Amino acid sequence: MRVLSVASECVPLVKTGGLADVAGALPGALAREGVEMRTLLPGYPAVMAAADGPAHDLGDLFGGPARLVEGRLGEATLYALDAPHLFDRPGGIYLGPDGQDWPDNPQRFAALSRTAARVAAEGVGGWQPQVMHLHDWQAGLAPLYLGTQAAGSGVATLLTIHNIAFQGLAPAAMIDTLGLPPAGFTPEGYEYWGQVSALKAGLVHADAISTVSPTYASELLTPEFGLGLDGVLRARRADLCGILNGIDEDAWTPPYRTPRGKGRHTRRLRDELGLPEREGPLAVVISRLTGQKGLDLLIEALPALIDGGGQLALLGSGEPVLEAAFRDAAAASPHVAVRIGYDEALSRRMIAGGDAILVPSRFEPCGLTQLYGLRFGTVPVVARTGGLADTVIDANPAAISAGVATGLHFHPVTADRLAQALVKMTALWHDRTLWQRMMRNAMAQPVGWDVSARAYADLYRSLATPS
């Protein structure tokens, strides 16, 4: 089974979020299922550093010369779209140094989609995929481009929605620039409130659609979560499924084998962050500081944790008003430590040392943070939404009685309900026997890729045309 994965980011080369973790983990996980997955990425400088193999000329691509350069992504093959006029620039992969979207993002990721369609239709170096697995809006135009190439009619397409909030919008005036068929600019096609939507193009034209948890798949069919695309998804309900993300369990192995080993890491983390010893749980947050992640709710609910004897350690960056609010909270209490920014090594020490990890997201397609928490016995406290609901077993009376609880849910997603969950978490922490059992349950929970990789492989095979 030959699959081309098309993504805008991928660990270990370039990462801004969970999409990169998934794109980096899939080739290895699927190899065990008999799937040869090759990955196509934009040729950012970090990606080109890993691409030192044969090059294939692509001619002019949206205003400049382009090549497809082969490299290695672990044990798998990497294809880098080398188009310096689109990808060799300072700043972030989506945002310029001014913090705003690159104005040519529509062309940049249309180039990625067009190249994916060309590889699918023509192959490269004698290799041709049976399935294209497309990730988010950045690859969303690929099925539309592929449909214009007769040679690609035997290649199936799967679009995975990692977060429907990002839709890849462009002005209608760019239809010709992007090489899109004007007849498709309709409400039944890629038109979205008078604009071009790359994500909608993929949702309409891909052979199948997946998202990253079963609950999120159901939520997307509603106006609350579908963000204007719920009607499209309801029309394609039969082609939509939810497959949970996993994590690389080898890369995320706790530095202790049992819950009893966590204590010294908790003490070290308190020392590192300047938190005093306290007879209460140390809760950690590692997140983008945005409204979607519910961090404004945590500001309101924080007194319930601190007054109850707990502490908070937070690592993240995002909306300036939230950054300022957490800095103020740290200044007001010795039991709050805040680090603005991102530090991979510190995040791992926080997960190892924290008693609980808080994920109060208003919506969360899957989430990886709670999976890291489970793996490390750092009990997740999560909003009951999306993949959070699918991966954490709530400590309700039935689950506690059965001895299967791995964390806590709260719903609806409000500051008051979060505060109640923090009070309950503190009470459970003080029942050391129960808390240790929850930690053991969490650490025993399967969070790797085995089950999900098998589901993807089965889906690919159901889509592929034998060749």
What was the pLDDT predicted at 18?
86
Beta-sheet pairing, 379-383 with 336-340: unpaired
Contact 287, 316 (CB under 8 A): yes
Q: pTM (2 decimals)? A: 0.92
Rounded distance, CA 313 to CA 82, Å? 41
Contact 237, 270 (CB under 8 A): no
Q: Residues marked as binding for ADP-alpha-D-glucose?
A: 15
Residue ranges and CATH numbers for the domains of the chain are: 2-246+450-463 (3.40.50.2000), 259-444 (3.40.50.2000)
Which among 161, 154, 113, 202 has a CA at the least distance from the CA of 463?
154
- The label of the residue with tokens 């920014």 reads 341
Amino acid at 195: Q
What was the pLDDT predicted at 467?
47
Task: Convert the pLDDT of each residue in 8-41 to its tens digit.
Answer: 999 999 998 889 999 999 999 999 999 999 999 9
Distances in whole angstroms, Cα of residue 284 to Cα of each of 336, 347, 370: 10, 9, 11
What was the pLDDT predicted at 149?
76
| pLDDT of 217 above 60 | yes
| pLDDT of 358 above 50 | yes
Average pLDDT score, the chain = 96
Task: Convert the pLDDT of each residue in 55-110 to its tens digit.
Answer: 999 999 999 999 999 999 999 999 999 999 999 998 899 999 888 999 999 999 99
Residue 12: what are its φ and ψ, rounded to 5°? -95, 15
Rounded distance, CA 74 to CA 275, Å? 39
Which among 317, 260, 306, 263 has a CA at the least distance from the CA of 283?
306
Q: What is the DSSP string of 47-102?
A: HHTT--S-EEEEEE-SSSEEEEEEEEETTEEEEEEE-HHHH--SS-SSB-TTSSBP
Beta-sheet pairing, 195-197 with 169-171: antiparallel
Task: Convert the pLDDT of each residue in 369-392 to its tens digit.
Answer: 999 999 999 999 999 999 999 999
Q: How many residues does the chain have?
A: 467
What average pLDDT does the segment 257-275 reach? 96
Q: What percent of the chain has pLDDT over 90?
A: 95
Rounded distance, CA 406 to CA 404, Å? 6
Local structure of residue 467 (DSSP, 8 states): -
Rounded distance, CA 105 to CA 73, Å? 25
What average pLDDT does the segment 348-372 reach? 97
| pLDDT of 395 above 80 | yes
Residue 150: what are its φ and ψ, rounded to 5°? -60, -35
Amino acid at 364: E
Neighbouring residues of 18: CB distance < 8 A, sequence distance ≥ 6: 162, 245, 366, 367, 368
Helix/strand/coil (H, E, C) string of 388-434?
Answer: HHHHCCECCHHHHHHCCCCEEEECCCCHHHHHHHHHHHHHHHHCHHH
Neighbouring residues of 202: CB distance < 8 A, sequence distance ≥ 6: 134, 137, 139, 140, 141, 142, 143, 144, 159, 209
What pairs with residue 282 in β-bridges?
311
Task: Convert the pLDDT of each residue in 283-304 to its tens digit.
Answer: 999 999 999 999 999 999 999 9
Task: Convert the pLDDT of each residue in 139-158 to its tens digit.
Answer: 999 999 999 876 667 899 99
| pLDDT of 281 above 70 | yes
Q: Residues marked as binding?
A: 15
| pLDDT of 466 above 80 | no
